Amino acid sequence: MTARRLAAIALALVLGGCRTDGAVTLRITSWQSPEENAIDAVEFRAFEAAHPGVHIVNDPVSSNAEYREKVLTSIGAGSPPDVFLLDGIDVAAFAARDVVLDLQPFAERVGVQLGLFFPQVVEPFRVRGKLLAFPKGFSPMVYYYNRALFAKAGLAPPKNGWTQDEFLAAVRALTRDTDGDGTVDQWGTILDRQLYAWQGWLWSAGADILTPDGQRATGAIDTPAAESTLTLLTDLPRRGYAPPPSAAGGSLGFEQRLFYSGRLGLLTSGHWLIPRLRRYLEQGRVQLGVVSVPRTTGHQVKTPLFASGWAVPYNTPHRKLAVKLAAWMVRADAQRRRAASGLEIPTLMTVAYESAAKDSTGMEMDFLWQVPYGGVPWGARVAQYREIEKAMMDLVDRVVVDRVRVKDAAREAAATVDGVLHR
């Protein structure tokens, strides 16, 4: 262990989490919403009851954009949280700094049987033989669809594994001028500029944003397969099948409201949308289904699985208790409670299928259909992912807003990403 690490641990022992009454204080932090924190508070109190003398302080960060740097800074300063939420797309960034405890040696001792978890959501947290977090929940990217609008258009509900051609036929039929004023007021779908929303489109077309070794974007995002898929997507607003970019004002809020009000046929998102949709479903205002990202004929569906897990900094002064708390937060009861809220899919297979069996809409089983076709997001393998993500969003903007050809925008984006990867 380096002198820097020894000094950081010593400082943490002096400053971190000690109470004058002899009890131990564990600090846990995340970027979760107040609703999620309220759910987890039940688990904190249960852990305290099971471990007399332990007090848990939840110290959430309200801004997801600031969260990663705040956690890294606190670890570097020797005053880390004892447990923190690690997003799958930030795994490589934390691994590159070597600041996260390997949980693999402790898993069995604290009751975490990794064989009971979906292997596809454990994999993103494995780096060079180390396990950097116990996965707590996840979601694939899917399309939600409005069953009533499909029926009105004379369309059968889409099926998992559908093709890009079938998708285009559907959005064409769903796009309508319902009041006869000459202006479209019901759209087939949306174009979400963010990479997480369209990454699965490329994978399902046999393309990608990076080469398989993660070393270059040139030879990946600028290939014919990628260009063809990006052209299809960026043409959606041009052809009137999706609201124009100016209508959304750069935010998905407008498009989600269209979906809730029955003026949008297909909306791409993840499981995290379920809590917002529930009141519309319960009130009978919408009838929804879930379907996979479309694929190119001859290729298999593939979607990124976005997971998060509880991690422990290497320099926590309460290593044993911190690992126990991280394990506590992924046990079956904790996952059942979160599943009931609709926030995510449980990472424990039995809990996930138990939850799906209770779902009368059938959407949960359609979410689970995606899991065998799930892939590890690039953020779990490439430390510069956040910068790459921005370059990919800029690519879409260059095409849709600036009217640059897809081929040229992809070439520009590839050069930018190559520079990021090799600087």
Domain layout of the chain by residue ranges: 3-140+305-375, 142-303+380-422
Q: Tell me the mean pLDDT in the region 22-42.
A: 91
Summarised one tens digit per residue, pLDDT across range 99-134 is 999 999 999 999 999 999 999 999 999 999 999 999
The model's pTM is 0.91
Least confident of 16-20, 122-126, 322-326, 399-403: 16-20
User: What CATH number has the domain spanning 3-140+305-375?
Assistant: 3.40.190.10
Summarised one tens digit per residue, pLDDT across range 228-281 is 999 999 999 999 999 987 544 444 578 888 998 899 999 999 999 999 888 888
Q: Tell me the mean pLDDT in the region 290-313.
A: 97
For residue 346, which of 359, 333, 358 has the smallest C-alpha distance? Answer: 333
Contact 145, 158 (CB under 8 A): yes
Residue 307 pLDDT level (bands cut at 50, 70, 90): very high
CA 92-94-99 angle, to 5 degrees, is 140
Summarised one tens digit per residue, pLDDT across range 186-217 is 999 999 999 999 999 999 999 999 999 999 99
Please give the Cα distance from 231 to 26 (Å, whole number): 50
Residue 132 main-chain phi, psi, to 5 deg = -90, -10
Whether residue 32 has pLDDT greater than 90? no
Residue 9 pLDDT level (bands cut at 50, 70, 90): very low
User: What CATH number has the domain spanning 142-303+380-422?
Assistant: 3.40.190.10
Collapsing DSSP to helix, strand or coil, 268 comes out as strand
Tell me if domain 3-140+305-375 and domain 142-303+380-422 are identical in fold. Answer: yes
- Residue 304 pLDDT: 97
CA 161-256-337 angle, to 5 degrees, is 75
Summarised one tens digit per residue, pLDDT across range 145-184 is 999 999 999 999 999 999 999 999 999 999 999 999 999 9
- Residue 268 pLDDT: 95
- Residue 145 pLDDT: 97
Mean pLDDT estimate for the chain: 92
What percent of the chain has pLDDT above 70? 93
Backbone angle region of 282, left / alpha / beta, with phi > 0 → left and psi within -120 to 50 → alpha: alpha
Buried (b) or exposed (e) across 400-416, using 16+ Cβ within 10 A? beeebebeebbbbbbeb
